[in-house]
Amino acid sequence: MRKKVDDRVGPAKRSRRRVVITYGTYDMLHVGHINLLRRARNLGDYLIVGLSTDAFNTIKHKSAYQPYAHRRRLLEALRFVDKVVPERCWEQKTRDIKKFKASVLVMGDDWKGEFDSLKKLCRVVYLKRTPSISSTQLRALT
């Protein structure tokens, strides 16, 4: 089992790691989420997940089946997720890329082109979604 990278390591060690950042609601965690997060982590050494807060989901006209705290605990339990931060607004991506010195922003390909303006800050990668699975589909079954 891979050991989590300690955030308290010295600046020299932090500056050498390749930080990947991604964002989402991650409601009803499913294999599509796992596939995306695992592939995102494989693009670097340290994966940060910006998890949409319940308030931000309201702004986006979305609702999550599970509250933020539950979704956060699920993501933190994944061995390939190193850090989870609350996502509170659209503009946060720019600030987080700078703050965490992210080398790569990863989003699902349903967002293709939406974050191309961030290419001046880091590499932007849109990963293919896993076919035949989504939180929307799972909600329809309940």
CB 61: neighbour CB atoms within 10 A? 6
Mean pLDDT by 10 residues, the chain (142 residues): 45 70 92 95 98 96 92 97 97 97 96 96 93 58 58
> Given this model, what pLDDT does residue 129 score?
86
Segments making up each domain of the chain, as ranges: 16-141
> Given this model, what pLDDT does residue 15 score?
58
At the fourth CATH level, the homologous superfamily of domain 16-141 is HUPs (3.40.50.620)
Point out the residues that are catalytic. 60, 62
Query: What is the rounded CA–CA span in Å between residue 95 and residue 101?
Result: 10
> Given this model, what pLDDT does residue 77 score?
97
List phi, psi (to 5°) of 21.
Answer: -130, 140
Averaged pLDDT of the chain = 87
What is the torsional sign of CA 4, 7, 13, 15? positive
> Given this model, what pLDDT does residue 16 score?
75
pTM of the model: 0.82
Q: Model confidence over 90-129: pLDDT tens digits?
A: 999 999 999 999 999 999 999 999 999 999 999 999 999 8
User: Quick check: 28 and 111 in contact, CB under 8 A?
Assistant: no
> Given this model, what pLDDT does residue 28 score?
84
